[in-house]
Structures are given as structure tokens and as C-alpha cells.
């Protein structure tokens, strides 16, 4: 989609620190990391958010599987009480979404408190 930042990154028109590429998605480091590991996983095919993407159950499942797989490759697989990761999908401006191409945030490398302060 023209005028979409993440479509431009997928097309290679805007550089990104790519960590993984699959048949369905691209994973690259967030430009403004909120944790020691902060990677975005984006479907190659444009959709605005997971609400729109979810019309395609297979694509939605693929995105989650790819995100978990990338997290494991980054060494974030949970081991007992240690490590682990958080997957976040901000959906809609009111929920903090700022780029309207579906993306999963992988956050890891620090402890996460819930609920947030
Ligand atoms: P959202 O706020 O939509 O859930 O997440 C968008 C994310 O994209 C933010 O965490 C932001 O830091 C990241 N971001 C914005 N512009 C760029 C960019 O040009 N390159 C990369 N790698 N990340 C970006
Ligand atoms: Zn896009």
C-alpha cells in the first residue's frame, strides 16, 4: 500500500534492522525500543490492524506463530521463572496504535509488571 511506512520497509524503500523474514512476515527492530529486545513482526500483506486482519484466520494464526518463533530465535523462550516475552498488538489510535499496518510487538529482556503503573 502506498503511503504506508511498514509497506515501504517491506519493499526495501526504507531501511530497517531486519532480524527474520518468512513467507508471510518480516521482523525488524523497533526504532524506539521500549525493552532490551523490541522487535516488530508485520505481515507482508497490508491490513490496517488485527481487527481487519482477523477476517483471515489463517493469516492471523500465521502472524502469531511467526512472532512466537522469532521470540524463540531471539532467545526469549520462557525457562521456568526466567525470561519469557510479551506480545502486544495496539489496535486503534485510542489504544496507542500509531502505524496502521498490523504489527506484533515482541518485548523481552526485562521484567514486566502487570497491570502497568
Ligand atoms: P504502534 O504505536 O503503532 O503500536 O507501534 C508502532 C511502532 O513503530 C512504534 O513502537 C515505533 O517506535 C515504531 N516505528 C515507527 N517508525 C519506525 C521506523 O521508521 N522504523 C522502525 N524500525 N520502527 C518504527
Ligand atoms: Zn502497509
CB 84 within 8 A of CB 68: no
pLDDT in tens, 44-85: 999 999 999 999 999 999 999 999 999 999 999 998 877 899
Q: Is the CB of 28 under 6 A from ligand 1?
A: yes
**What are the two backbone dihedrals, phi and then psi, of residue 9, each rounded to the nearest 5 degrees?**
-65, -45
* Alpha-carbon torsion (15, 89, 49, 55), positive or negative: positive
- Predicted local confidence at residue 80, as pLDDT: 80
Q: What is the pLDDT of residue 117?
A: 63
- Residues 102 and 91: their CA atoms lie apart, in Å, by 8
13: Cβ below 6 Å to ligand 1? no
CA 103–ligand 2 middle distance (angstroms)? 10
Element at 65 (helix H, strand E)? helix 57-73
Relative to beta strand 104-108, strand 18-21 is: unpaired
**Alpha carbon distances (Å) from 93 to 12, 28, 65, 89:** 26, 22, 25, 12
Give the number of the atom of ligand 1 that is nearest the alpha carbon of residue 28. 22
- Nearest alpha carbon, ligand 1 atom 15: 31
Q: Is the CB of 90 under 6 A from ligand 1?
A: yes
Across the range 92-116, mean pLDDT stands at 93
In this structure, the number of other CB atoms found within 10 A of the CB of residue 63 comes to 25
77-96 pLDDT, tens digit each = 998 877 899 999 999 999 99
CATH fold, domain 5-108, is HIT family, subunit A (3.30.428)
Q: Does the reported pTM lie above 0.85?
A: yes
Amino acid at each position: 500500500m502506498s503511503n504506508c511506512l511498514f509497506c515501504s520497509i517491506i519493499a526495501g524503500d526504507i531501511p530497517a534492522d531486519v532480524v527474520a523474514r518468512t513467507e508471510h512476515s518480516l521482523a525488524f527492530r523497533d526504532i524506539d525500543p521500549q525493552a532490551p529486545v523490541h522487535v516488530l513482526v508485520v505481515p507482508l500483506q497490508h491490513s490496517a490492524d488485527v481487527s481487519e486482519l482477523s477476517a483471515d484466520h489463517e493469516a492471523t494464526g500465521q502472524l502469531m506463530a511467526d512472532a512466537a518463533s522469532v521470540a524463540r530465535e531471539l532467545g526469549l523462550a520462557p525457562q521456568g521463572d526466567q525470561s519469557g516475552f510479551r506480545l502486544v498488538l495496539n489496535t486503534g489510535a485510542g489504544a496507542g496504535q500509531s502505524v496502521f499496518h498490523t504489527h506484533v510487538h515482541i518485548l523481552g529482556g526485562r521484567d514486566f509488571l502487570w497491570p502497568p503503573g
